[in-house]
Amino acid sequence: TGAGQGIGRALAVALAEAGANVAVVDRNGETAKSTAQEIGALGVESLAIETDVTQTDEVNKMVDQVTSKWGPLNIAVNNAGIAIRSPAESIPDDDWDAVLNVNLKAVYLCCRAEAQVMLEQKSGSIINLVSMSAQVANRPQLHAHYNASKAGALQLTRSCAAEWANRGVRINSISPGHMLTPMTENCTEEEKAQWIANTPMGRNGEPSDLQGAVVFLASDAASYITGHDLVVDGGYTLW
């Protein structure tokens, strides 16, 4: 999900390069088609699906489309997310609802629909994109609702992992650090410089830095790993 641009696009391409057929899901149908075309050129099959992942009926329809085309659902990556800034003491109700709906409710809706297929087939790997913000209140940006949503998604991942571990379905999460994506392109140079100053590796991340993590967690190389949060942050959470 959210594979039309940024991190989601990079993850979709990485899975395609590893040999997977990939359904590119995004609320923006045009960017979904663009990523799907790029994936098709890699010699695997692709499918673009325009979906609002906050809506149960659309999520269920999306999973049905994937299984109707390819049969088993082997890998699911729930990546769609948004961020809105506001001091904690004055977050508007609408902003709170929007962030929690996309970053937490939608993750659950997708996990539920995906797991219903995977549990039936007794196999599958689900990967949720969380954030190091599930563990730290990173600075200087103020977005307590974003941090809360990501912490919720992390605990949701762990809870589902415990329930599904003996039924053939693994579910893990990836927690990126500060990434240079379309979602962060409007941040000031001063903010980006502060992120770098707070990162031991001395640079901000690129979506490509997450590609190895998603392929690993999706693959049989991670067959004994579930409920794990793989932090990819250049060491940010060390300080």
- Point out the residues that are catalytic: 146
Within 10 Å of residue 150's Cβ, how many Cβ atoms? 27
Q: Which two tokens stand for residue 172?
A: 């893990």
Please, are residues 178 and 159 in contact by the beta-carbon 8 Å criterion? no
Within 10 Å of residue 192's Cβ, how many Cβ atoms? 15
| 104, burial (CB in 10 Å: exposed 0-12, middle 13-18, buried 19+) | buried
Distances (CA, A) of 132 to 14, 53, 78, 184, 213: 22, 22, 16, 15, 15
Residue 182 DSSP label: T
Helix residue spans in 22-105 (DSSP H): 29-40, 56-70, 93-100
* Cα end-to-end span (Å), the chain: 31
